Structure 1
C-alpha cells in the first residue's frame, strides 16, 4: 500500500513539475492543464502584453491621483465644468484600460476552455447585452444608460443573465440614492451633503406621527407578536383597514375584511398581484409618465411587461389638459399591443397620479372601467395619495366610491401608509379586491413579504384614532403641504418654468425644456447629472418613462430648511447651465 502511495505521489509530483500546476488540478481541471502545457509560448506573449497594459494603467492611475490631489487648485483656474470634464476623461481612460486587462485575462483562460460565458466588449461604447430585452417595451428612442466596461465584465462573468439584468438596472437606477445614503445633508455636521428631492417621502409631519406612535397605547407587546402571524395580515388590522377604507374612500357599503391583504409595501402588492393575474410574458397597459418602480417590480419579479400608454403635454382638441388619458389612447395602445402578439391582461391606473399629481374624475374612471370590461381586462388602481390631496379645488374620487362598478371582480385597489402618513419605514401595503380568489391567492405572498406583528399593532392603533387623524394630522399635513408647494411654486413662477398645477401628492412635475439645447434625452441626462454633481437629487422624466424630453419631478414634502437649500442649488444649477448654453451658442455663431 505504501509503495503504491509513493508511486502515485511521485507521478503526481512529476505531473506538477511538467505543468507547474497543483497536483489536484490533474483530475479536476484536465482542460486547463492541457491548455497551459500547449500554450507556453502564447502565455509568454500574453504576459508581455498584460505587463505593458499594467504599466500604462499605473501611469494613468498616478496621473489621476495627482489630478485629484490638486483638484481644488485646478477647479479654481479651470472652472467647475472643465474640471469635472477633465476628471471624467481620466476615469474613462482608467476604465477602458482595466476593461482591456479583464478581457485579456478572461479570453486567454475561460474562453479557450470553451466555457459558454459571454465576454464583455472592450470598446468603451459597448456594454453587456443582457437586460437589453428586459425593458424593451419602454424604449422610445431615448438613450438608455449602460454600465461601464469593467462593471459589465465582472457582472456578466459572475451572475446569470437574469442576475446581470437586475444588477445593471439597480446600479444604473439607484446609484444616486446610494450616494445620498452615505453623504446626507445635515445643517451642522454635513452642510455640503446631498439634498434628496427625488425619493418620494413626506417629511413634513414626522413630529406629529412620532409623537402619536410613542404614546402609551402603542406600547403593547405579547407573546403572539413574537411568533409567525397570519400571512394575510392580522385579523384585527384587516378589520380596521376595511373600516378605514370604507370611511375615507366613501364606499357605498362596508368593505369586507376577508378581501383585505396586507404585505410589506405597495410594490410588493403590485408585483405579487401581477404574478397572480398574469402569466410570464403577459402584459399590462399603463399610462406614462408613471411611477418609476412599477416597471422594475413587474418585470424582474413577475416577468410581466408593462405596455406604455403615452400621454403628451400638448393641449389639443381632444386633450383639454396636459397629459390627459382618454379611452382612445387606451384603445390605440391595446390595438398596437395585439398587433405585436402581446397578451394584455389588464390596465394600471394611479390616482392621484404619480408623477403628474392630477386626480381622475369619477366620470373618467367610469369610462376606463367600461373599456376594461369590454375587453375583459383587470384594472389595478394605485390610490397611494388619496389623503394627500391638499388643495380644496382638487377632489379625489376613489374607485371604491363608485356604486355600480362595471365588473367588480376585475378591479383591485392598492393603498399604503408610506405616503399619506409619512411612515415609509413601517413598510405596509394594502390590497382590497372584491375577488375572493385573488385575495386567497395573494395570501401566500405574506410568507415572503409579511409585516411585523409589532408594526401591525401600532398601525392598528393609529388607524383606529379617527379623532387624531381628522382633527390633528390631516389638517396640519394639508396645511404644511400647501405651504411647501406654494414656496416651490413661487420659485418656479419667478423662473418662468412651466409645471403641472394640480394640488395633490408630494411632488411637482416641471418642464425644463428651455434649459435643453437641443431638447433631447441626451441633454436631459446631462442636466440631471449637473444636479447630481451639485449634490441635489431630483428625478428625470426619462425615469418615469415620459415620451417627451425635458420633464423632471421634484419632491417638495421636505422640511423647510432642506427644501430651501435644495431650491437654492436648483436655481444655481439652472443659472450655470443656462450660461453654459448661451456661451456655446455664441461660440457657434461667432458673436
Structure 2
C-alpha cells in the first residue's frame, strides 16, 4: 500500500502524561459521559416541551416546567464547558452523537432542577466567565442549538486544529470517522488547475439565481441524465443547487414537514441528517425499529448506496419503497451521493431516476453532490432534482442563504461537462484506488479477527468490535471510542447512526496509503490496550466471586 517511509508514529507513546495521551484523561470518562448523556436527554425533552408549548399557550405550569428545564440545561452546559476548558477531559472530547435524537434509552441521573426565575430571560450563573455565552447571551433556542453543536462536533474541531501530516505533524489526528474522499486529490487538483477553469466575468461576481446559475443547472441535468441512465432528458427547471447535500436535505425537511412532524428512515443511517433536520425545521427522524405512534409521518428518507452499511438497493427494492410511500401519501427523499463510488464490478447501481415511471413523481426527490464521488467536499455543492415545481420553488428560496459562489459554480460546470476526462481518467483511477484501499483494510481486519460487512460501495466499512466491550453497552462503546481519540484516531461509533446494537463502528478507508497504514497501527494498539484492560477486569471480577 505504501511507497513512503514505513516509520509508524503512535502519539500516545510520546504524549503519555500530557495532553491527549495522558493517563489523567482516564480518570473522569464516566463523569464526562454521564454529563453529556444528561445534557442530550434534556435537549430532547426541552425541544418536546417547546413543541407542546405551541399547543397549550397560557398553561402557566407548562411554562414553569419549561423554564426550570432551561435553567437546568444551562447549568449542565456550564459544567461541561468548565470541564473542557479546565483540561480535565483531555483527549476524551465529545463524540459527535447528534444529541437531538441520540437519547433513545433512559439516561439516569442528572442534577437537581433549579428555578429559572424569569422564564423569558434565560440567565444562569456560571463559574467561568468565558462559559457565560452558553446562557447569558443566547435565547432558549440558541442555548439548545449551541449545546447540540458543541456535543456533535467537538471531535471534529479538535481534528481541524491538529491534523495528521506525515512530515509536519506525524502525531496529529487521523480521521477515519468523517466520510471524506482523499484518494484522488492529485487528479482533482491537476484538473481544477487547468486553464479552462480560470475564467471570470461580471455575472460570476454578482448575486446568482437562487436556484443556481442556469448554465450549471443545465449541465447538472445532462450529467445526471447520462450517469443515472435516465430514460428521458432531465429538465433543468427541476434542478436546484445549494451549498451541500445537508443544506438540500435540511430545506426539504423544512418545506415538506411542519415542526413536530417526522420523516421515516431505515437504521442505521447517516447521523448528519439528524442535526440537519433539527437545526432549522425541528423535524424528527423516526427509525423503522421504533414505535412511531403519535407522530405524523410525512416522508421516507433513503440513502443509496447506503451509509454506513454500504448496501446498494436493487431496482425491485427501490420500487417496493416507492410503492409503499405512494400507498400512504409519503414523500420519498433519496440521497444518491455515493452513486459513482460503487467499486465492485459485480454490483450494479440503480438510480431512482433510471425508472421508466415513478409511482408518485410529485413526491419523489433525489439528492446528489460532488463531495463523495469527486472528493471535493470543500466546494459545498449539493443538488436537488424533483418533478414537483412547488417543492423546487420552495427549496430555491433557501438559495438566498445557501447558494454556491459564482466562481465555484463555473468550475463545477466545466468539471461535470468534461465527460472524456471523467470516464477516461478519473473514474477508472478512482475505482482502482478504492478497490486497493478496500483490499488493504479488509485484509488487516481479517488478520485481527474483526467481523465486518464486506460491501463493494462507498468510502467506509462497517465493523463489529463487540468482543472488545464488557459489558456490551453503548456506554462501553463510547469509552472505546474515546480510547481511539486518546491515540489520535477518530472513528464513528454505531450510536451516531442510531444503531440499536452496541459495538459497531464505521471506518473510512478512502485515504492515502501511508495515512491508512498509520491509522491501522494506532487501531491495533488501541485494541491491544483494550484487551489487556478487559483481561484485568475479568480477573478482578473472578477474584471477587
Pick the TM interval, shorter chain. 0.7 to 0.9
Change (3 A) 1:124 1:425: closer
| 1:190 pairs with 2:169 | yes
Paired residues of 1:121 and 1:149 also in contact (CA < 8 A): no
The structure 2 residue matched to 1:140, chosen from 88, 98, 104, is 104
Q: Which residue does the alignment assign to 2:274?
A: 295
Shift of 1:426: 0.6
Identify the structure with the greater helix proportion: 1
The structure 1 residue matched to 2:320, chosen from 355, 367, 371, is 367
Q: Which residue does the alignment assign to 1:511?
A: 464
The structure 2 residue matched to 1:418, chosen from 363, 368, 371, is 371
Superposed, which structure 2 residues align to 1:125-274 within 5 Å? 138-141=102-105, 143=107, 155-274=134-253
Superposed, which structure 2 residues align to 1:480-491 within 5 Å? 480-491=433-444
Q: Which residue does the alignment assign to 1:112?
A: none
Q: Which residue does the alignment assign to 1:428?
A: 381
Shift of 1:344: 0.6
Superposed, which structure 2 residues align to 1:352-391 within 5 Å? 352-391=305-344
How far, CA to CA, are the matches of 2:179 and 2:229 in structure 1? 26
How far, CA to CA, are the matches of 1:123 and 1:278 in structure 2? 31
SS of the equivalent of 1:577 reads helix
How far, CA to CA, are the matches of 2:143 and 2:468 in structure 1? 35
Change (3 A) 1:127 1:198: closer
How far, CA to CA, are the matches of 2:31 and 2:457 in structure 1? 45
Q: Which residue does the alignment assign to 1:561?
A: 514
Paired residues of 1:414 and 1:431 also in contact (CA < 8 A): yes
Paired residues of 1:358 and 1:502 also in contact (CA < 8 A): yes
The structure 2 residue matched to 1:463, chosen from 416, 422, 426, is 416
Change (3 A) 1:87 1:387: same
Relative to the length of structure 2, the TM-score reads 0.80
How far, CA to CA, are the matches of 1:149 and 1:300 in structure 2? 29
Shift of 1:280: 1.4
Paired residues of 2:78 and 2:134 also in contact (CA < 8 A): no
Instruction: Describe the superposition over 1:76-114 as per-residue Cα deviations: whole angstroms up to 9, x where unpaired.
Output: 9xxx7854335879999xxxxxxxxxxxxxxxxxxxxxx
Change (3 A) 1:145 1:200: farther
Superposed, which structure 2 residues align to 1:40-79 within 5 Å? 75=17
Shift of 1:492: 0.6
How far, CA to CA, are the matches of 2:371 and 2:471 in structure 1? 38
| 1:577 pairs with 2:530 | yes
SS of the equivalent of 1:380 reads strand
Superposed, which structure 2 residues align to 1:298-313 within 5 Å? 298-310=277-289
Q: Which residue does the alignment assign to 1:522?
A: 475
Q: Which residue does the alignment assign to 2:63?
A: none
Change (3 A) 1:127 1:479: closer
How far, CA to CA, are the matches of 1:124 and 1:347 in structure 2? 34
Paired residues of 2:176 and 2:508 also in contact (CA < 8 A): yes
The structure 2 residue matched to 1:345, chosen from 298, 312, 333, is 298
Shift of 1:160: 1.9
Q: Structure 1: which 5+ residue stretches go unaligned? A: 1-70, 93-114, 129-133, 311-332
Change (3 A) 1:208 1:83: same
Paired residues of 2:493 and 2:506 also in contact (CA < 8 A): yes
Change (3 A) 1:423 1:209: same
How far, CA to CA, are the matches of 2:110 and 2:506 in structure 1? 22
Change (3 A) 1:126 1:210: closer
Change (3 A) 1:283 1:241: same
Q: Which residue does the alignment assign to 2:357?
A: 404
Q: Structure 2: which 5+ residue stretches go unaligned? A: 1-12, 34-66, 82-97, 112-125
Paired residues of 2:262 and 2:286 also in contact (CA < 8 A): yes
Relative to the length of structure 1, the TM-score reads 0.74
The structure 2 residue matched to 1:85, chosen from 21, 26, 35, is 26
Q: Which residue does the alignment assign to 1:282?
A: 261
Change (3 A) 1:120 1:396: closer
SS of the equivalent of 2:135 reads helix
Change (3 A) 1:575 1:219: same
Shift of 1:496: 1.1
Instruction: Describe the superposition over 1:394-430 as per-residue Cα deviations: whole angstroms up to 9, x where unpaired.
Output: 2211100111211111100000010000000111100
Paired residues of 2:100 and 2:275 also in contact (CA < 8 A): no
RMSD: 3.0
Instruction: Describe the superposition over 1:435-475 as per-residue Cα deviations: whole angstroms up to 9, x where unpaired.
Output: 11111111111110001110111111111110100010000
Higher relative contact order (CA 8 A, sep 6+): 2
Change (3 A) 1:153 1:288: farther
Q: Which residue does the alignment assign to 1:449?
A: 402
Change (3 A) 1:136 1:269: closer
Paired residues of 1:345 and 1:378 also in contact (CA < 8 A): yes
Give the count of matched residue pairs.
465
Change (3 A) 1:146 1:214: farther
Shift of 1:139: 2.8
Paired residues of 1:74 and 1:83 also in contact (CA < 8 A): no
| 1:538 pairs with 2:479 | no
Mean CA deviation greater in 177-186 or 347-356: 177-186
How far, CA to CA, are the matches of 1:445 and 1:120 in structure 2? 31
